[in-house]
Amino acid sequence: MTDRPEKLSGVVIDCLQYCKYSEAVFRDLKAGGVDAIHTTIAYHEDFQETVANIIRWNELFAAHGDLVLHGKTGADVRRAKAEGRIAVFFGLQNCSPIEDDIGLVEICHTLGVRFMQLSYNNQSLLASGCYESEDAGITRMGREVIAEMNRLGMVIDMSHSGERSTLEAIELSRRPIAVTHANPLSWHKVVRNKADTVLKALAASGGMLGFSLYPHHLKNGSSCALTEFCEMVARTADLMGVARLGIGSDLCHGQPKEVVQWMRRGTWTKEPLDPANPVVFPPQPAWFASNRDFPNIATGLAKVGFSPAEIDGIMGGNWLRFFEASFGGAKG
C-alpha cells in the first residue's frame, strides 16, 4: 500500500480506458477523483456496430446521469468537475468504423467521437500498425482522413501504429496529435511502446503522450513498482517537457478474458488459440488495481520530485488544455 493524499487538487483525466462500465465503476471513478475519461467505443466494429455501442452508452448516460455525462468539449470537463460527475469522451481504437467512406468521419464526429486511431496493430486503409513487418506509412486515404479530422476537431491517435506512420502523421497533421496510451520504448522494449525519436517529434509538434498502466507496457509487468513508473515519468519529462505528459491508463477493469482475445484477434484471423500461451488480461499492479487508485500516482510523482503544479498537469491539466485546443473545427 502507498500513502494517499487526501484529495487530488486539480482536474483528473484518464485519456484511455475500456472498462466494463456500470454504476459501480462510475462510483470507483468518483472515489478516485477522476473528472473525465476517454473511453474506447470501437476496436474492430464497422459503422453500424459502433452506432450500437453508442446507443448502449446513451442508455448508461440516461440511467446514471447523476454520475456521468457525454463529453464533447473541454468545457464539459470543467462542467463535470463542478457538478461532481465524470465527462466521458468517445474514441475509436481503429478506423474500421469509417469503413472506406471518408464521409463517415464527420458522422462519427457528429455522434460525439473525439479520438480515432489510424490503425490498430495491423495495416489499415489509413496507416500501418505496430505489429506489421513493414511500415508503409500514411496511405492516400490516410492523408485525406487526417485533413478531415483536422477540419472537424477530432484527435489523431497513433498509440497502436508503426513508427514511420506515427512520424508521418505528426508531420502531416495541422493539429497536434496524441499517443493516448503508451510508454517509452527505451524504458520497456515492447513493440507497442514508442521510440525516443517519436516522443521528441510528438513533443516538438505540441502533441501529448498518455502513460499506460497496462502491465504489458510496464517494465516488470504486473510487478512494476510505483517508484519505477514515476521515475520513468520523470525521465520522459526531461525528454518531452512536463506539459506534454498525461495519463492514459488503458485500464480494462471488469472485462472478461474473452474480450482481450477479441481485441487481439478481431475478425481478421482464423489462427487457433495456443493453449500453451493463453491470451488473458494480466493482473494490474497493486498500486493501480482500479479507478480508485489514481491518488497513488500523484503520491508517487511527488516522491520523485514533481511539484504540485507539475503533478496537476500530468494528472489531467495538460490533457484539459489539449482538449480545449483540439475539439474545435476549421483546421483544414
Kindly report, residue by residue over 70-95, the tens digit of the pLDDT.
999 999 999 999 999 999 999 999 99
Say yes or no to pLDDT of 4 above 80.
Answer: no
Identify the pLDDT of residue 328.
83
**Residue 187 placed within a domain:** yes
Q: What's the pLDDT tens digit per position in 96-135?
A: 999 999 999 999 999 999 999 999 999 999 999 999 999 9
Identify the pLDDT of residue 7.
60
Say yes or no to pLDDT of 1 above 50.
Answer: no
pLDDT, mean of residues 56-72? 98
Q: What's the pLDDT tens digit per position in 145-166?
A: 999 999 999 999 999 999 999 9
Q: What is the 3-state secondary structure (H, E, C) of the chain?
A: CCCCCCCCCCCCEEEEECCCCCHHHHHHHHHCCCCEEEEEEECCCCHHHHHHHHHHHHHHHHHCCCCEEECCCHHHHHHHHHHCCEEEEEEECCCHHHCCCCHHHHHHHHCCEEEEECCCCCCCCCCCECCCCCCCCCCHHHHHHHHHHHHHCCEEECCCECHHHHHHHHHHCCCCCEEEEECECCCCCCCCCECHHHHHHHHHCCCEEEECCCHHHCCCHHHCCHHHHHHHHHHHHHHHCHHHEEECCCECCCCCHHHHHHHHHCCCCCCCCCCCCCCCCCCCCHHHCCHHHHHHHHHHHHHCCCCHHHHHHHHHHHHHHHHHHHCCCCCC
Q: What's the pLDDT tens digit per position in 240-258?
A: 999 999 999 999 999 998 8
**Residue 73 placed within a domain:** yes
Identify the pLDDT of residue 273.
84
pTM reported for the whole predicted model:
0.95
pLDDT, mean of residues 304-331? 93
247 and 13 in contact (C-beta within 8 Å)?
A: yes
Say yes or no to pLDDT of 272 above 90.
Answer: no
**Residue 8 placed within a domain:** no
**Residue 131 placed within a domain:** yes
Identify the pLDDT of residue 6.
40
Average predicted confidence (pLDDT) for the chain: 95
Cell of 160: 497502436
Number of domains in the chain: 1
**Residue 7 placed within a domain:** no
Identify the pLDDT of residue 208.
98
Structural domain that includes position 170: 13-326
Residue 264: CATH number of its domain: 3.20.20.140
Identify the pLDDT of residue 81.
97
Identify the pLDDT of residue 279.
85
